[in-house]
Amino acid sequence: MTKKELVRVHVIKSLIEDKMTSGDAAEVLNLSERQIKRLKEGVKKDGEVFVIHKNRGRKPKHTIPGEIGEEIVFLARNKYKGVNYTHLAELLEEHEGITISQSSVSRILKAKGIKSPRKHRPPKPHRTRERKPQEGLLLQMDASPYEWIPGIKCSLRGAIDDARGNITGLYFCENECLNGYFEVKRQTILEYGLPVSVYVDRHTIFKAPSNAKLTIYDELEGKTLAYTQFSRAMQELSVGMIYAYSPQAKGRIERLWGTLQDRLALELRLAGIKSLGEANAFLPGFIKRFNARFAVVPREPQSAYRPLGGHINIVYILCRKETRKASHGSTFSFGGQIYQLSKNNQAVPLPNKAAITVLTSPRFGIRAEYKGGVYQVRKAVRPAKVMLKKDRIKRFTKVKDDHPWKNNGVKPNFIYQESDRELVAAIYDPKGWK
C-alpha cells in the first residue's frame, strides 16, 4: 500500500471502532461523507484491500503494445535515423500505418536513450515583424546550398508567402543561378498569380553592383538604374523588389531552410531519389503536403495576387535578354555565331543597325524580339574563305648582316672606315660570335 492508502485504512478503522465521527473522518481525508460511508462499508466487507485502487496492476485499454514500441525504436534507429519526434510521428502514420501521438513517440524514444536531433533553444529577444495581412503582398525568395540528395550537393531555390507561410515554388539546380529563380517565379505565377513585391538579398542576381553603369541603350530608354536580368523581368511584370541587409530580415524563408533540410532531405532519401531531375519531379507533391501541414490563415481572406494577362507570354519575360545591332545583311552576331531572324522558314529583312533583343532560355533556346514580335532564329551561312590561314605562304624578309638584331641588340661603340668593314663583320658575325 501507499502512504495515502495506509492513512485511509487507519482513519476508516478508527471510524469503525467509533473513535471518530464520519464528519471528522471526511475532514481528515478531505473526502465527502458519502465517500467515507462507502469506504467504511467496503472495509467491513472486503477488509483493508478495499482502499487499494482497482486499476492497480492492470494495463489501460489505450496502452501502446510492447511490440509496437519496439518497432518504433527499431525504425527510429535504422530507417528513420536522425528524424525529430514530430516528423517521425507523421512518417509512422504515412508510411508504416502506425497512428501515434508525438508525445508518445517522445516518451518511448527517451526511455531508450534516443534524443531528438532538433533541440528547442530558448528564444532570443528580437523585434518581431508581423505577417502581411494578405497573401500575395510579399514573397520571400532565397537559395540554400546543401547535400539534399545523398552524395550530391546542390542548391535549392524557393519562395514562401509572408502572410500564409506556404511554399509557392521550389526548384533544384547545381548551383545558385538565374534560371533557377526564373523557374521558381514561373511556378508561383502560374499557380497563384503575380505578387505585389518580392523580398530578396543583395546578391548580384537580384541587384546590380554599385559600380554598374547603364548602357547607351538604357540611357536612350530613359532608365536611371542598372537592371539585372531578374530585376528587369520583375520591372516588366510590375513586381516590386525589396532588398534585405541581413539574413534575419527575411527570417521566414531562412527558417524554412532549416525545416526543409530536416524533412525534405530525409523524404528524398526514403524515395530513392538519385538525380536532380527526379528530385524536381518529387517537389510538387511534397509542396502540397508541406502547405497542408504548416500554412496558416491570413488575417484578410482576400488575395493580393494579380492574374496574369492573357496577352503576356511569361516564358518570353522570365529569360535572358541582350541587345544586338543588325548588319547590312540582315544578320546579327551572338555568342560567336551569325544569326538571321526567321519566319515561316524565310529570312526576315532588317534595316542596317536595327536594335534586336536576343532572348535565351533553357525552355526555348534562342529567339529574337524585334518591333514587339518574337521570331525564331537560324544560323547564317558564312562564305568560305579563298585561302585558309594554314595555307598562307609565309614570306620572310632577309635582315642585313649589320642590323643590330643580328648583333643581339649591341651596337658598335666605335666609328670604322670602309676598309675596316671586313674586320667588323667578322667580329659581329652571329655565327662566329663568342
| Residue pLDDT, tens place only, 303-357 | 999 998 878 899 999 999 999 998 888 889 998 889 989 888 888 888 888 899 9
In a domain, 120, yes or no: no
Quote the pLDDT of residue 126: 65
Quote the pLDDT of residue 433: 45
Q: Which residues pair with 321 in a beta bridge?
A: 359
- Same domain? For 146 and 245 the reply is yes
Q: Is the pLDDT of residue 425 over 90?
A: no
Q: Count CB neighbours of 76 within 10 A.
A: 21
Q: Tell me how many degrees the CA angle 154-158-163 measures, rounded to the nearest 5.
A: 155
Last residue of a domain, which of 74, 92, 111?
111
The whole-number average pLDDT for the span 125-152 is 88
Quote the pLDDT of residue 415: 46
* Radius of gyration in angstroms for the set of CA atoms belonging to the chain, rounded to a whole number: 41
Banded pLDDT at 394 (limits 50, 70, 90):
low
In a domain, 158, yes or no: yes
DSSP string for residues in 3-19: HHHHHHHHHHHHHHTTS
- Same domain? For 287 and 144 the reply is yes
Cα torsion 321, 326, 327, 329 to 10°: value is: 110
Quote the pLDDT of residue 304: 94
Q: Count CB neighbours of 192 within 10 A.
A: 20
The whole-number average pLDDT for the span 96-114 is 87
- Same domain? For 20 and 150 the reply is no
Sheet strand arrangement including 139-149: 167-173, 152-161, 139-149, 197-200, 240-243
**Of 402 and 278, the one with more pLDDT:** 278
- Same domain? For 186 and 150 the reply is yes
- Same domain? For 434 and 400 the reply is yes
Quote the pLDDT of residue 416: 44
- Same domain? For 248 and 177 the reply is yes
In a domain, 314, yes or no: no
* Percent helix / strand / coil, the chain, rounded to 5: 40, 20, 45
Q: Is the pLDDT of residue 10 over 90?
A: no
- Same domain? For 231 and 267 the reply is yes
Counting the structural domains of the chain, the total is: 5
In a domain, 133, yes or no: no
pLDDT in tens, 154-197: 999 999 999 999 999 999 998 888 999 999 999 999 999 999 99
* Domain that residue 429 falls in: 396-434
Q: Which of 197-211, 337-351, 375-389 has the lowest mean pLDDT?
A: 375-389
- Same domain? For 89 and 152 the reply is no
Quote the pLDDT of residue 14: 86
Q: Is the pLDDT of residue 36 over 80?
A: yes
The whole-number average pLDDT for the span 376-397 is 66
The whole-number average pLDDT for the span 82-91 is 87
